[in-house]
Structure 1
């Protein structure tokens, strides 16, 4: 089993992911820092809820949640799969992507030339799926994306709390 398959195997179901993201956004809003990392960008015309995380260092992930499906895209600027290396996506990254998710591969007004993606997974209502990324014959490792395992979410909550305390928000969580 590939590294990406192992990563997909530990991602939560869409409903659990939605709740984790809502909690992180709420914590950020209630106790947040000067630079919000977790955000809810509303519901688009197709009915998908849009969540995002930006670490301020060039890495991000965006989650598009529909009633029973999800598209998760991430960019890790240090990844060997960075499209800025060859000015193209890692071959195979989007293999098998359902047509409904194609619009989510490109962020409007930000990615005019090519999508800035180093990770793409989707949940089709049954299971998490992914393409077969290949780079020089190597199995491409997934980007660093929290929310995969229960402990990752708790670490993310703790990071939000630590940032708030460091910036002078003394209210207890």
Structure 2
């Protein structure tokens, strides 16, 4: 796992790029909300099949909530649903607002990870994971956060069935502002104003 700052940058970078395609192909898998409630920020990953990951960036640090529907640790193994024993044990009180955020749907959770702003490592509750290989599904949902620019370029091409200029993806992964030319290169079928608005919503820099 990267540092909190690096994680925030990477999700925002991926959200900015996918936003350019989402204006034409629907809801992006990667999203970033720079002006969430209470001066916080949120990064999100959704796969369209019900799995989701939320990263809540606050003054307290970063709280990550994930749900993998194929995990045997799903709350829906019970009727009524019930969180895996001990899943939320140990979550610092500093993340109380994260646990109460309706958009995160905490009752539908298979894993939580957090790091305090003054901490140096990511932590989880002390729980016994399921015995199967898939466990809580965190490995799958967190995997994209370690993509290189080449891997993310490949993912974009496969997901949107288009050719993608990897040098632009590399530039964004180096946190350089997106130029108008680069935006139009990635999606030349949409008006520039539409592309600018899509990227602007993620808070990513535009030249």
TM-score range, shorter chain: 0.7 to 0.9
**Residue 18 of structure 1 corresponds to which residue in structure 2?**
8
- 1:31 shift after superposition: 2.9
- 1:39 shift after superposition: 1.1
Question: Which consecutive residues of structure 1, in runs of 5 or more, have no partner in the other structure?
Answer: 1-10
**Residue 75 of structure 1 corresponds to which residue in structure 2?**
67
Contact in 1 for aligned 2:71/2:110 (Cα 8 Å) = yes
Question: Which consecutive residues of structure 2, in runs of 5 or more, have no partner in the other structure?
Answer: 167-207
Task: Select the structure that is richer in helix.
Answer: 2
- 1:74 shift after superposition: 0.5
1:101 is the counterpart of 2:91 = no
**Residue 84 of structure 1 corresponds to which residue in structure 2?**
76
- 1:129 shift after superposition: 1.0
SS of equivalent residue, structure 1 residue 155: helix
Contact in 2 for aligned 1:53/1:62 (Cα 8 Å) = yes
Please, what TM-score do these two structures have when normalized by structure 2?
0.64
Aligned residues: 157
1:172 is the counterpart of 2:165 = yes
Instruction: Say which of 47, 63, 70 aligns to 1:55.
Output: 47
Write the deviation string for residues 23-43 of structure 1: whole angstroms up to 9, x where unpaired: 110110123332311112343
Contact in 2 for aligned 1:49/1:66 (Cα 8 Å) = yes
**Residue 113 of structure 2 corresponds to which residue in structure 1?**
121
Tell which deviates more after alignment, 14-23 or 149-158: 149-158
Please, what TM-score do these two structures have when normalized by structure 1?
0.76
SS of equivalent residue, structure 2 residue 156: helix
Could you tell me how far apart the structure 1 residues matched to 2:153 and 2:125 are? 30
Write the deviation string for residues 106-154 of structure 1: whole angstroms up to 9, x where unpaired: 552684xx61110100011212111022367x59834222357634775
Alpha carbon RMSD of aligned pairs, Å?
Answer: 2.8
